Chain A
């Protein structure tokens, strides 16, 4: 079954365009320097419309997660993580932790993670995170 994919909007297109070229793009307020996610054309902290897109480090740490034992059909049959990572730039985002066993032992809170991208269509590559290489 095909993976359920996001439908970009004009306000989020830069993020998904970035994923296609393996870049994790965040936004930063030019006025107050606040970095934020998910995308929007203004700063949620101060309300300024003067914001800029930048490429984030793609590094962060595992903030919280569940291991879903009843996967949605498009995610296969094996239990998998649904996680939130905190990026070094500050924002948090939902993701799947890949490249390691999907077990509480392997999924330690606060472990360093890094972004990796997988292409699902011409338009959509999803950002996932894997344990950071030392």
Chain B
């Protein structure tokens, strides 16, 4: 993708966030979509491309009254929306469509109109992982971490520090689910979920959604909001089985996706003012800092401990409070990008002064997939 050829002209989350027992999954998609269309000053008839995950793009298009010439149903977990942005940018540049709506909605907590969890017992994961008792991400996504801690000489306190600093960010965000300060001891004394993970090292479970509208940069200046440009994009996938990831101390999908996005944007790490790393669990920002190249292997925990990612630090990370404290409906990637876009528009609750470049890095499944989008606010 040519940097700055595509811009975000609409972005919004659902009207409510957290516990929304009176709205179904498709309703959350629609609420976010309508908010984003209002933000962009568009009607459904102005949209000619749709992309979503969790539900089919057919459901989305029909429910919203959109007749698209481009539909993307890429579903690789929580970073699907990063991939949707990347694919939409290519599609717009290729002339397949002009204006793409990307939506997310998930009734993660209330489970109104939500599907069931779990795969087939005949799938590879069903045959070679499920029999050993994993109960979803808390006892699966965490499996590589003991090896990671040993290889990096990190401690359980290092994981807890990630949670503590993100809670500090959440305190600045009126929409965050959890805002009360926590200490490392609080984290280490919270209920044990799956050693070495305590409850406060695990993400929330909430309801919510978000939507993004993209168009060409040429058209973007005619929209009401200040355009946020796409500078670079990356994606990759590795394995559907966490037990089979090549290196337990580093995500291959993270490395490939991140490098692609940085190469495309033609920026260096020093150019980045703001960073979002999908944090379903407290280890993910550490992996992300290393695999994206912000820290050398073994230096991420110290980097966080020294408050570089905290309020006032040189690289603010997860400034909405993250999946650990802001919200996590199941596929959090959309909310990471919403915060990047707010920061680039200059309207975030914890606004980073003069921020010009923001990186949103997502994970899908359990180190299964990755997507990276680099946003900028200068044409």
B127 surroundings in chain A (CB, below 8 A): 6-9, 12, 38
A75 surroundings in chain B (CB, below 8 A): 133
Q: How far is the CA of A68 from the CA of B140 in the complex (A)?
A: 10
- The B-contacting residues of A in range 87-115, CB under 8 angstroms, are 92-96, 104, 109
Say if the beta carbon of B143 comes within 8 Å of chain A. Answer: yes
B150 surroundings in chain A (CB, below 8 A): 109
A109 and B147: CB pair below 8 A?
yes
Closest 5 CB pairs of A and B: A6-B127, A64-B147, A67-B195, A94-B243, A66-B194
B131 and A5: CB pair below 8 A?
yes
Q: Which residue on chain A has the smallest CB distance to residue B148?
A: A64
B135 and A66: CB pair below 8 A?
no
B248 and A72: CB pair below 8 A?
no
Shortest C-beta distance, B99 to chain A (Å), equals 41
Q: Please, what's the 1-or-0 string for A69-87, where 1 marks a CB less than 8 Å from any CB in chain B?
A: 1111011000110111000
Complex A-B: 13 CB contacts under 8 Å: A9-B127, A38-B124, A38-B127, A63-B147, A66-B142, A68-B134, A69-B192, A72-B135, A82-B132, A82-B140, A93-B243, A94-B129, A94-B132
Shortest C-beta distance, B98 to chain A (Å), equals 41
Known: A6-B130, A63-B248, A66-B142. 12 other contacts (CB 8 A): A37-B128, A38-B127, A64-B148, A70-B194, A72-B134, A80-B133, A82-B143, A82-B194, A94-B129, A94-B132, A94-B241, A109-B147
Q: How far is the CA of A129 from the CA of B141 in the complex (A)?
A: 21
Q: How far is the CA of A37 from the CA of B139 in the complex (A)?
A: 21
Most buried by A among B124, B134, B193, B243: B243
Which B residues fall within an 8 A CB radius of A? 120-122, 124, 126-135, 138-140, 142-148, 150, 191-197, 241, 243-244, 248
- The B-contacting residues of A in range 1-30, CB under 8 angstroms, are 3-9, 12
Shortest C-beta distance, B309 to chain A (Å), equals 25
A80 surroundings in chain B (CB, below 8 A): 133
B139 and A68: CB pair below 8 A?
yes
A64 and B143: CB pair below 8 A?
yes
- Count of chain A residues with a beta carbon within 8 Å of a chain B beta carbon: 35
A68 and B194: CB pair below 8 A?
yes
Say if the beta carbon of A43 comes within 8 Å of chain B. Answer: no
Number of A-B contacts (CB under 8 A): 112
Which A residues fall within an 8 A CB radius of B? 3-9, 12, 37-38, 63-72, 74-75, 79-80, 82-84, 92-96, 104, 109, 126
B122 and A70: CB pair below 8 A?
no
Shortest C-beta distance, A65 to chain B (Å), equals 6
Most buried by A among B121, B131, B148: B131
Main secondary structure, interface of B, reads: mixed
B126 and A66: CB pair below 8 A?
no
Shortest C-beta distance, B375 to chain A (Å), equals 35
Q: How far is the CA of A5 from the CA of B133 in the complex (A)?
A: 10
B129 surroundings in chain A (CB, below 8 A): 94
B128 and A6: CB pair below 8 A?
yes
B124 and A65: CB pair below 8 A?
no
B146 surroundings in chain A (CB, below 8 A): 64-66, 109
Task: Choose from B120, B128, B133, B192 the contact partner of A72 (Cβ within 8 Å).
Answer: B133
Q: Which residue on chain A has the smallest CB distance to residue B248?
A: A64
Shortest C-beta distance, B366 to chain A (Å), equals 12
A38 surroundings in chain B (CB, below 8 A): 124, 127-128, 241, 244
Q: Which residue on chain B has the smallest CB distance to residue A95?
A: B132
A66 surroundings in chain B (CB, below 8 A): 139, 142-143, 145-146, 194-197
A72 surroundings in chain B (CB, below 8 A): 133-135
Known contacts A94-B243, A109-B150: does B192 contact A4 (CB below 8 Å)? no
Shortest C-beta distance, B329 to chain A (Å), equals 21
B120 and A68: CB pair below 8 A?
no
Q: How far is the CA of A3 from the CA of B140 in the complex (A)?
A: 18
A6 and B248: CB pair below 8 A?
no
B195 and A70: CB pair below 8 A?
no
Shortest C-beta distance, A119 to chain B (Å), equals 13
B124 surroundings in chain A (CB, below 8 A): 12, 38
A7 and B120: CB pair below 8 A?
yes
